[in-house]
């Protein structure tokens, strides 16, 4: 009786496995690090360099303007207290506030432009990945960021990045202030 139960249990385990093997194709898995590709693509790197240079220029201009305003404020403080002086201080503070707001606004525009470039690069990466999947017969492609471990032999990141850099060496970088002027 025990042998019959054991045989039935083994059949119950192996029969579904053989049915599964016949039903589903062999899984061919590929791994790709999309975040790395988007960051390291030539187009993203160029945009990032441009944005960083623009931000440095913007910070330099803001620092110079703040120095000038600070000197004006010191000169106002040294003057005798009067309604005219108070109005000048109020104007100074309004100007300083306006400059800070303009700086933050422009910096946000630049960051948004960089994000648009990265989104564009990401969208242009999808057909490249699709082509790689078809060429290599892969039926499951997983982002490395979602994995704990993957064999480096199934990693398509380098191959995808090389193709992206060839097909998309750069993208248009348009910031809001360029649109206006």
* Two structure tokens written together for 166: 């060839």
Res 37 pLDDT > 70: yes
* Contact call for residues 85 and 76 (beta carbons, < 8 A): yes
pLDDT at 181 over 50: no
Structure pTM?
0.68
The torsion of the CA quartet 44, 50, 52, 58, rounded to 10 degrees, works out to -150
Q: What percent of the chain has pLDDT over 90?
A: 41
- C-alpha span between 136 and 121 (Å, rounded): 22
Nearest Cα to 34, choosing from 136, 135, 123, 122? 122
CA dihedral 119, 124, 126, 132 (to 10 degrees): -140
pLDDT one-digit tens code per residue, 113-133: 989 999 999 999 999 999 999
Distance CA 164, CA 41 (A): 7
Q: What is the 3-state secondary structure (H, E, C) of the chain?
A: CHHHHHHHHHHHHHHHHHHHHHHCCCCCEEEECHHHHHHHCHHHHHHHHHHHHHHHHHHHHHHHHHHHHHHHHHHHHHCCCCHHHHHHHHHHHHHHHHHHHHHHHHHHHHHHHHHHHHHHHHHHHHHHHHHHHHHHCCCEEEEHHHCCCCCHHHECHHHHHHHHHHHCCCCCCCCHHHHHC
Lowest-pLDDT range of 63-67, 85-89, 141-145: 85-89
Structural domains of the chain, ranges and CATH numbers in brackets: 24-174 (3.30.910.20)
What pLDDT is recorded for position 179? 46
């Amino acid at each position: 009786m025990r042998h019959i139960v054991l045989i039935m249990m083994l059949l119950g385990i192996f029969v579904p496995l053989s049915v599964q093997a016949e039903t589903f194709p062999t899984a061919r898995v590929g791994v790709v690090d999309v975040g790395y590709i988007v960051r390291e693509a030539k187009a993203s790197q160029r945009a990032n360099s441009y944005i960083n240079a623009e931000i440095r220029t913007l910070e330099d201009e803001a620092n110079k303007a703040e120095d000038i305003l600070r000197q004006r404020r010191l000169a106002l403080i040294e003057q005798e207290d009067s309604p005219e002086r108070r109005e000048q201080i109020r104007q100074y503070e309004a100007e300083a506030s306006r400059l800070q707001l303009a700086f933050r606004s422009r910096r946000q525009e630049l960051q948004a432009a960089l994000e648009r470039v990265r989104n564009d690069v990401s969208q242009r990466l999808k057909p490249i990945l699709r082509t790689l999947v078809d060429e290599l017969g892969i039926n499951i492609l997983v982002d490395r960021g979602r994995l704990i471990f993957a064999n480096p032999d199934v990693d398509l990141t380098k191959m995808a990045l090389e193709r992206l850099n060839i097909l998309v060496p750069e993208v248009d970088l348009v910031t809001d202030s360029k649109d206006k002027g």
